[in-house]
A and B are shown apart, each in its own frame.
Chain A
Amino acid sequence: MKRYALRQLVQLTVVVVGISILSFAILHVIGDPVLLLLPQNAGKEEYERYHKLLGLDKPVYVQYWKFASRALQGDFGKSWYTDTPAFKLVIDRMPPTLYLTTAGLVAALLIALPLGILAALKRHSFVDNLCTMLAVAGQAMPIFWLGIMLIIIFAVRLKALPASGYGTWQHFLMPAFTLGAFLAPITMRLVRSGVIEIMNMDYIRTARAKGFGERKVVVKHAFRNACIPVITVLGLQFGQLLGGAIVTETVFAWPGVATLTVDSIRNQDFPVVQCAVVLLALIIVSVNFLVDIVVGLIDPRIRVA
């Protein structure tokens, strides 16, 4: 178990470092931050001075090293537009996004698990295709359209939920459902294929031969084991969720880090973008790591693979 965990930890570190390099590379190589900061009529002297100030005269790997060493201490520099430390800006807005994505994942599971299992059990039938349609509906329907429709129905017409904002559990329901609908298709597809695979396995046949009722077979054996691939990939979905989170946060005026990152990219506020990307990656990878550990605990075969 320890060796497995260690291996996963190594991979986690490599991935985070890789992402930090990637984000650093994109931002520094493609745009010239000095040109963006200075007014157009600034002279060459000003340009040189700023260049030195930002440390851009040093070779790229030195810049990266400085960035990385500072980042490890939590110093991602100051936002170029508001002069507050980038780290503080990102951390302040991280919890709402994390809660939202978790709630979205839960919602996705609530939709996808029953649909996926049903579809797997009744393969190729009308029910199978219906489940696919329902699940795909959420993804194919543009997120903001779904979001605004929900607002119109539940907030405006029924006055049952607050239209937007953050604070109570009621504020969570619509955004979570919107995000969940976005994730459901992929999750359902995974559940379905996972269950199909397992249903064909020997131990299921054994269980049936033993005389267990179909229901017991499904719930006790198939379901439990189908969870493994689902949990594994859910960890990955966390990263893909960010796209859905951006639109959801905009529509529901959710004070999350997704909209902060989008705004910062538009502003070309590099320190904030870098900090957000690295921290998000760290979280995503840590989630994956935890998932891998949990799955390793459940199924010893994976540890040896």
Chain B
Amino acid sequence: MRRTLTLASTLLVLLALGWLTPADAQTKEDTLVYALQSDVDTWDPPNSVLREAIILGYHVFDHLAARDLKTRRVGPSLATSWKTIDDTTWEVKLRQGVKFHDGSPFTAKDVKASFERVLDPAKKMTARGNHAKIKSVEIVDDHTVRFKTDGPYPLFVERMTALVIHSEKVLREKPHEWVQENPIGTGPYKLVRWNRKQEHLLVRNDDYWGAKPTFKHVRIRIIPEQATQIAELISGGVDIIKAVPPDQMDVIDKSGQARTATSPILRTALLQLDQAARGGPNPFTDKRVRQAANLAVDADAIIKHVLNGLGDRTATAVNPMAFGWDPNLKPYKQDIDRAKKLLAEAGYPNGLDITFHTGPPVVEPAIQQTNDAIVADMAKAGFRVKQNYIGDNTVLVARIKEGKGGPMFNWSWGYYSVFDADAILYDVFKCGEAYAYYCNRELDDLIHAGRSTLDQKKRAETYVKAQKLLFDDAAYLYKWGLRGVWGISNRVEYQAPADEVDRMFLVTPRKK
């Protein structure tokens, strides 16, 4: 009996030790570890709305243009120069001597294939709306491309930073499903393996045309539990984490092992109200109810106390850093009495019940605490809000896309890192867009006008009008521009990115 037990337990132990995956051949010195709260759904960035997909895309792919983080201006990347031939034609010269990870050379046909794929309505790519102004892409020669646009396209240069360039050969030969899991780009890193919902391993592309990253390997670990992420950071298991809750900043700063860094980012938070009745009739189709909701919430106090001041109040959803922001428009100030009066006028003298769809803090820090504070404020005016918490961000986003987000849900928008009012107005406010629950023809006209002229002064005026309209109509419940909070290990140097794109290829070890 004893012998049997001993044998059995020995076998068990051997089994455990023998079958464990051996630790990979990277060492601590050459591996950078970055933590994400939730995994991407695909490695094909134009096919995803997730910020994580954009970030990962930057590592394995390149774009035509890239943003200089210090000056915030757009500079060359895969494109070396560009100019307008006429109001509706842009000519772009491409970099020579660039190779994809599979060895094939980068030429104009890759640019054409990448854009056409996104623009093809049959493919239903998520990023299509961003680039819809481009009518066609013509190859002039191997390193010159001409874009024809549907009317003047002022955001062309900005948007060149927003589409990754795929290999035409891959797009032609491989099926759609393959592309979702096997990114072949020109970027500073290559994907070695992807264990879904666990981790990604990247290795440096030693043939990269640009500045080679310092760290040979990047491990991207998926750690859903925030407390665990922070524990990992301060115990040395992870080097960089993002979306740190403001409440936990002192833990990191006092640890002696890591520090926090903040930066205002483009991402703006808001609560979408179903004015367009995508989910059917609901109280928010009435302007007075929407205004009451905005008047009920004391957003300034929430920023001060719940976010410890880490937020920039916005009058609408246009971020102060975006072109077209109107500094003269003052946000709603809390006025409970007026809110109650408006509700009574709208036919809700005894308040009303609202379902509020919320999600986990993947990109918006302290989202649950701010939601609770907002709900408490709204209760003062008579809104009886019931939170419907959906624990998986992918699920929440999918439901919103299908029109099931109404009557109220939590939303934030990163502008696809394009510093322009159009980058939020189109996707979040234009009638009929997948993630928009607002429908106002007047606004649509203004959006159209804003993207149809190259005259920046005229555009600014249009956007002032648009913001006034959105403010008066209380299209949504406006909150604030977020401040990103990063946790950075003291063994590395890293600049908190204002465009919310973490670039592991820029991280260097800290000099002792």
Residues on A with C-beta less than 8 A from B436 are: none
Residues on B with C-beta less than 8 A from A165 are: 221, 237
Residues on A with C-beta less than 8 A from B19 are: 95, 99
Nearest CB in chain A: distance from B175 CB, A: 11
B1, B17, B21 pick with most chain A CB within 10 angstroms? B1
| Docked CA distance A253–B225 (Å) | 7
Q: Which of these binds chain B: A58-66, A122-130, A204-212, A259-267?
A: A259-267
Contact between A168 and B231, CB atoms less than 8 A apart = no
Residues on A with C-beta less than 8 A from B23 are: 167-168
| Docked CA distance A224–B228 (Å) | 41
Residues on B with C-beta less than 8 A from A168 are: 20, 23
Is there a chain A Cβ closer than 8 Å to B394's Cβ?
A: yes
Nearest CB in chain A: distance from B138 CB, A: 34
Is there a chain B Cβ closer than 8 Å to A77's Cβ?
A: no
Is there a chain B Cβ closer than 8 Å to A252's Cβ?
A: yes
Q: Which of these binds chain B: A154-162, A182-190, A276-284?
A: A154-162
Contact between A159 and B232, CB atoms less than 8 A apart = no
Is there a chain A Cβ closer than 8 Å to B224's Cβ?
A: yes
Nearest CB in chain B: distance from A101 CB, A: 11
Contact between B225 and A250, CB atoms less than 8 A apart = yes
Contact between B395 and A266, CB atoms less than 8 A apart = yes
Is there a chain A Cβ closer than 8 Å to B455's Cβ?
A: no
Is there a chain B Cβ closer than 8 Å to A200's Cβ?
A: no
A146-172 interface with B by 8 A CB criterion: 148, 151-152, 155-156, 159, 162-169, 172
Is there a chain A Cβ closer than 8 Å to B122's Cβ?
A: no
Contact between B12 and A106, CB atoms less than 8 A apart = yes
Residues on A with C-beta less than 8 A from B177 are: 83
Chain A contact residues, majority secondary structure: helix
Contact between A255 and B197, CB atoms less than 8 A apart = yes
Is there a chain A Cβ closer than 8 Å to B281's Cβ?
A: no
Which chain B residue shows the least CB distance to A155?
B235
Residues on A with C-beta less than 8 A from B21 are: 166-167
Which chain A residue shows the least CB distance to B224?
A250
Is there a chain A Cβ closer than 8 Å to B5's Cβ?
A: yes
- Cβ proximity bits B402-423 to A, threshold 8 Å, 1 near / 0 not: 1110000000000000000000
The answer to whether residues A159 and B225 also contact, given A102-B12, A106-B12, A151-B231 and a CB cut-off of 8 A, is no
* Contact partner, A163, options B199, B237, B278, Cβ 8 Å: B237
* Contact partner, B197, options A38, A163, A227, A263, Cβ 8 Å: A263
Contact between B231 and A253, CB atoms less than 8 A apart = no
Residues on B with C-beta less than 8 A from A267 are: 392, 394-395
B175-207 interface with A by 8 A CB criterion: 177, 180, 195-199
The answer to whether residues A40 and B228 also contact, given A165-B221, A267-B392, A267-B394 and a CB cut-off of 8 A, is no
Residues on A with C-beta less than 8 A from B222 are: 253
Nearest CB in chain A: distance from B35 CB, A: 9
Contact between B221 and A159, CB atoms less than 8 A apart = no
| Docked CA distance A227–B180 (Å) | 51
Contact between B221 and A253, CB atoms less than 8 A apart = yes
Contact between B16 and A99, CB atoms less than 8 A apart = yes
Is there a chain A Cβ closer than 8 Å to B347's Cβ?
A: no
A82, A169, A252, A253 pick with most chain B CB within 10 angstroms? A253
Contact between B228 and A41, CB atoms less than 8 A apart = no
The answer to whether residues A260 and B197 also contact, given A224-B2, A227-B1 and a CB cut-off of 8 A, is yes
Contact between A41 and B392, CB atoms less than 8 A apart = no
Is there a chain B Cβ closer than 8 Å to A298's Cβ?
A: yes
| Docked CA distance A156–B238 (Å) | 12
Given A163-B231, A172-B16, output 11 extra A-B contacts at Cβ < 8 Å. A39-B402, A39-B403, A92-B196, A103-B16, A151-B228, A155-B232, A159-B235, A162-B235, A164-B223, A169-B20, A267-B395
Give B contacts to A, CB under 8 Å: 1-2, 4-5, 9, 12, 16-17, 19-21, 23, 41, 177, 180, 195-199, 221-225, 227-228, 231-232, 234-237, 255, 278-279, 390-392, 394-395, 401-404
Give A contacts to B, CB under 8 Å: 38-41, 81-83, 89, 92, 95, 99, 102-103, 106, 148, 151-152, 155-156, 159, 162-169, 172, 224, 227, 250-253, 255, 259-260, 263, 266-267, 294, 298
**Can you give 17 A-B contacts (C-beta < 8 A)?**
A40-B279, A82-B41, A92-B195, A92-B196, A99-B19, A151-B228, A155-B235, A156-B234, A162-B235, A163-B228, A163-B231, A164-B223, A164-B225, A169-B17, A172-B16, A260-B197, A267-B392
